[in-house]
Structure 1
Amino acid sequence: MSGWIGIDLGTQSVRALAVTGDGRVLGTGSRPLTSHREGPRHEQDPEQWWRELAAATRSALRDLPAGERVEGVAVAATSGTVLLTDASGRALTPALMYDDRRADAGRVNEAGAHVWERLGYRRMQPNWALPKLLWLLRDAPAGARLAHQSDFVNRRLTGHEVATDLSNALKTGVDLIEERWPADVFDALGVPAGLLPEVVRPGTRLGVICAAAAEETGIPAGTPVIAGTTDGCAAQLGAGAQRVGSWNSVLGTTLVLKGVTKELIHDPLGVVYSHRAPDGSWLPGGASSTGAGVLTGDLPDRDLDALSTEAAARYRLGPGRVRVPPAVTYPLVSRGERFPFAAPGAERFTLGEPADDVERYAAILLGAAFVERLCFDYLDLLGAPVTGEIILTGGATRSAYWTRLRADVLERPVTLRENAEPALGMAVLAGGDPARMIRTRAVVEPSGADLREPYLRFVAELEGRGWLDTRAAEHARERTAT
């Protein structure tokens, strides 16, 4: 028997998963992480990452059956989290987390505009890794090295210097087409070449578990350590969205879409950017500021499962018998939208007047489904293939009514997986067979309910408020009509 270990090093916790080649979970472990936040500052202690990762893997392997071999391990980490280390891998600075916004992106966008334009995302944001690297370098000692979150722990696992993966290096400015650092950009910014790690594709072997790491983590010495990805790409791998035209739609606190294309997608608005897949294809995606996070704020202390049951009974879905909720809410979790359009001034609104909590609940669900549909309409406008499998993951899949509603709005069947967590994606990347490891729980067909007219009213409202580009709105209308 053989097993693989996937590790998801997140913001609030680190999770380890030991899984067999046929998707059977052998063991899990999870440990909390703490952050230090103050205004735009968000830091974590890299040493805590290692301590809790080691504890999580020991827990995951505690009941490993006798004779079970561990064939590989891979680590996923948060996108854009960086720190400086010395030549031995010891942390010289706290880790600046993915949403730390103390840096300024002006210099990097001036120096790297030609590269960022060619890569399709056009510009960097202040919370991306390269602006934060310049911020850290202001007081850096000689000989400092850049490390992404995954690099720091991979070095501890192997006991030697390691390359970084293209996925984690995206927000640090790596040229994903050439698969190397753009030397002219870093020279213009005054970043020493020796500060940067080598870059490899996700799935590349970095080394093996060293003796010291084996003692701390419980992972057998000699186990291959494989270059991982960012957490979003790991979730996509875990969901099984790996074929061109397939998409993983993650609806939790906010909505995130990630898919697979053969060619690099260029977005004039810069709201869609692409990672590089292990096989060289592209993984475009975008993150909306809308999602289920609105539910807890608007409906505090309410049983959301009970509201879902009531909404399903009140607004039955099916051909000729759908009763559309009388209101629809644009469910922004915070001010400003990032995808499928860029609108820093966007605010939440509701069309119609919900009479009770069930109508308020249904209005939020309907609005989130409409935003999801608009995301696919915009991706189609950019030339991305959107006709493949749509896999739904995230907390929203707990609601059978919401899942069927999303299928009806998309006018497409949607797939639910038994397990689609990022740690599973890393077990797959570590060498597992996705066809065997990733199991389908259900395929939900649309009921035949026609929700096109309220969708178009929603699109018109976004356009009328000046947030949605007219070209994108017109394309949504054309796709809906056909």
Structure 2
Amino acid sequence: MTLYLVGIDNGSQSTKVSIFDERGTVVSRGRRPLRPNHTPRPGVVEHPDDDLWTSIGAACREAMASFDGDPGDIAAVGLCTIRFCRALLRADGTLAAPVLSWMDDRVSRPYEHTDPAVARVTTSSGYITHRLTGEFRDTAANYQGAWPIDTDTWQWRDDTGGVPREMLFDLVMPGEVLGTVTASAAERTGLPAGLPVVATANDKAVEALGSGLREPGSLLLSLGTYIAGMTTGSRNVRNATGFWTNFGCVPGEYLYESGGIRRGMWTVSWLRELFGEEVARAAREAGLSPEQYLDDGASRVPAGSDGLMTVLDWLAPTEKPHRKGAFLGFDGRQGRFHLHRSVLEAIALTMVEHAGAMAAELGTEFSRVIVSGGGAEADVMMRIIADVFGLPASRRANNGAALGAAITAGVGLGLFPDADEAAATMLATPEVFTPNPDNHHLYTRLREIHRDITYHTDQIFHRSTTLFG
């Protein structure tokens, strides 16, 4: 008998649900985009209505509708949701207010109890756990930042920072069962009633596990809405300046995250939409998607984009709110494919600096780069990363948070002895891109220029912010 595992990956732009067999093969999947965030004023970014639960329900139904196996052979579901969100719930577990996005300024501050209708405060994973199981339980590994959690013990601190303990969910470790799918949740999702729901971690840690990040000598580049560089270890490193420490997807392990790029791959999508119907029409005529059309054109642009450079602050860092995105270096040689390639190069050039700072502080060196997320599907992006870093860059066909969630569920139920064995069994063989020496030499020289760009643009945007905000 073949057993199956469901992985829920609720990301910033869409919810993806995949059903895997025990070898990690995707046998069914569903996807639903999230609605645009509600941003009524600066600093406020909310998920409209009940969009997270609605998208998860729809993606689960789609995956179950195309599943040819016996639903009784599904062993468990691993739940992974967007990190750094905040959900305010009534006593019955329904939303008292829209879920706050990780981009909302309020989530960077401790919760303030101002609405008497709010009985519970939790993460997105805590909220979805309650919708699936009826339990007020959540993974400890999705709490960081302003939450009153002890990062050594993975439990609530004695001093909960003014939040009454009864308002907080009970914490469990990754791999523990949160509860089982209720009859009402089964009707909403199509998942079998009584199916165990297993705790995972924050979405980056789950993605790291599902991408094969298991040793300190590897760097994972996660090409999502937020682009991060990550490695792993067993030390709870405090007060680092070149990275920060987050919970890992395995109890007792930590995920080290470098500085990142806000609205990273979102910027790629933004540029594609800006090109509009002209690119869409050309792509149709070539028998390609707009993404493939732009990637194909960018692959024919020389390394360095003929001098076109991009500053990727389409969403400014919170500590430097004056920053803006910019394209620099137009001289008439460049066209749409240069713009596209320049954004991809800026991603790699920015992240090689962040990764270098993290490696130096950890006292390690990276020997390879693992790439995950939607951006990893483009060969041109993989080649740029290999050339900029001067290291082999690998991707897997079945990587990502959905697989990491399924791996965690399998380990939690005892289908595998540990995460290493589960990853070795369920992860596909990686495709490896080796660096081009000439391109690496050029990018090494370009790094010296690129790392100084914001020093100069900061002066301009400091002044223009007084006019335009």
Deviations for 1:165-220, whole angstroms, at most 9, x for unmatched residues?
Answer: 32245552312112222233x3xx43212211222222222222234433443322
> Hey, what does 1:69 align to over in structure 2?
73
Partners of 1:219 and 1:361 lie apart in 2 by 40
Q: Which amino acid aligns with 1:5?
A: V
User: Aligned partners of 1:452 and 1:409: how far apart in 2?
Assistant: 9
2:27 is aligned to 26
Q: Which moved more, 1:446-455 or 1:430-439?
A: 446-455
Give per-residue Cα distances to partners, 1:374-429, cap 9 Å, x unaligned.
12211112116442542112333343233222212211111111022322221111
| Pairwise CA distance, 1:446 | 1.4
Q: For residues 167 and 19 of structure 1, do their structure 2 counterparts lie closer, same or farther at Cα, with a shift above 3 Å needed?
A: same
Give the equivalent residue in structure 1 for 2:376: 397
Cα gap change, 1:350 to 1:290, in 2 (>3 Å): farther
Q: Are residues 23 and 171 of structure 1, via their aligned partners in 2, closer, same or farther at CA, if it must alter by over 3 Å?
A: farther
- 1:282 shift after superposition: 0.9
Structure 2 distance, partners of 1:467, 1:224, is 54
Query: What is the CA–CA distance in structure 1 between the aligned matches of 2:116 and 2:162, rounded to whole Å?
Result: 13
> In structure 2, what is the equivalent of residue 115 of structure 1?
none
Structure-1 residue corresponding to 2:247: 275
Change in CA separation of 1:305 and 1:223 when aligned onto 2, cut-off 3 Å: closer
1:26 and 1:278 mapped to 2: Cα distance? 25
- Tell me, in whole angstroms, the C-alpha distance in 2 between the residues paired with 1:464 and 1:331: 7
* More moved, 374-383 vs 22-31: 22-31
Q: Distance in 1 between matches of 2:301 and 2:162?
A: 62
Corresponding residue for residue 36 of structure 1: 38
Q: Is residue 167 of structure 1 aligned with residue 142 of structure 2?
A: yes
Where does residue 113 of structure 1 map in the other structure? none
Please report how far the alpha carbon of residue 371 of structure 1 lies from its aligned counterpart in structure 2 after TM superposition. Answer: 1.5
Q: What are the equivalent positions in structure 2 for 1:172-321 lying under 5 Å apart?
A: 172-184=147-159, 186=160, 189-252=161-224, 255-269=227-241, 272-285=244-257, 286-289=259-262, 291-295=264-268, 296-297=270-271, 300-301=275-276, 302=279, 305-313=292-300, 315=302
Q: Which one-letter code corresponds to 1:36 in the other structure?
A: H
CA displacement at 1:234 relative to structure 2: 2.5
Q: Quick one: distance in 2 between partners of 1:56 and 1:294?
A: 25
User: RMSD over aligned Cα, in angstroms?
Assistant: 3.2
Tell me which residue corresponds to 1:458: 447
Aligned to 2:461: none
The aligned residue for residue 448 of structure 1 is 437
Give 1:443 shift.
Answer: 0.9
Say if 2:206 and 2:249, in contact at 8 Å, map to a contact too: no
Question: Is 1:100 aligned to residue 76 of structure 2?
Answer: no
Aligned equivalents of 1:386, 1:441: Cα separation in 2: 21
> Residue type of the partner of 1:410?
F
Aligned residues: 426
1:458 deviation in Å? 3.4
Contact 2:350 2:451 in 1 (8 A): no
| Residue equivalent to 1:138 | 114
Does the 8 Å contact 1:31/1:55 carry over to 2? yes
Question: Structure 1, unaligned stretches of length 5 or more?
Answer: 104-126, 316-322, 469-482
Do residues 50 (structure 1) and 53 (structure 2) align? yes
- Aligned mates of 1:331, 1:464 — CA distance in 2: 7
How far apart, CA to CA, are the structure 1 residues paired with 2:453 and 2:98? 45
Q: Contact between 1:19 and 1:427, CA under 8 Å: does it hold in 2? A: yes
The AA in structure 2 aligned to 1:84 is: L
Q: Structure 1 residues 245, 350: CA separation in 2 closer, same or farther (over 3 Å shift)?
A: same
How far apart in 1 are the matches of 2:45 and 2:305?
Answer: 40
AA aligned opposite 1:57: C
2:228, 2:260 within 8 Å by CA — same for their partners in 1?
Answer: yes
Amino acid at match of 1:37: T
Is the contact made by 1:166 and 1:176 (CA closer than 8 Å) also made in structure 2?
no
Counterparts of 1:73 and 1:177, CA distance in 2: 27
* Residue aligned with 1:405, SS: helix
Conservation of the 8 A alpha-carbon contact between 1:265 and 1:382: no
What corresponds to 2:126 in structure 1?
151
Q: Deviations over 1:340-361 (max 9, x none)?
A: xx65444535357461214444
Taking structure 1 as the reference length, the TM-score comes to 0.77
TM-score (structure 2 length as normaliser):
0.79
CA contact (8 A) 2:248 2:254 kept: yes
Cα pair 2:242 2:354 within 8 Å, conserved: no
What residue is the counterpart of 1:334 in the other structure? 314
Match of 1:121? none
Q: Match of 1:423, as an amino acid?
A: A
Residue 199 and residue 157 in structure 1: after superposition, are their counterparts in 2 closer, same or farther (change >3 A)?
same
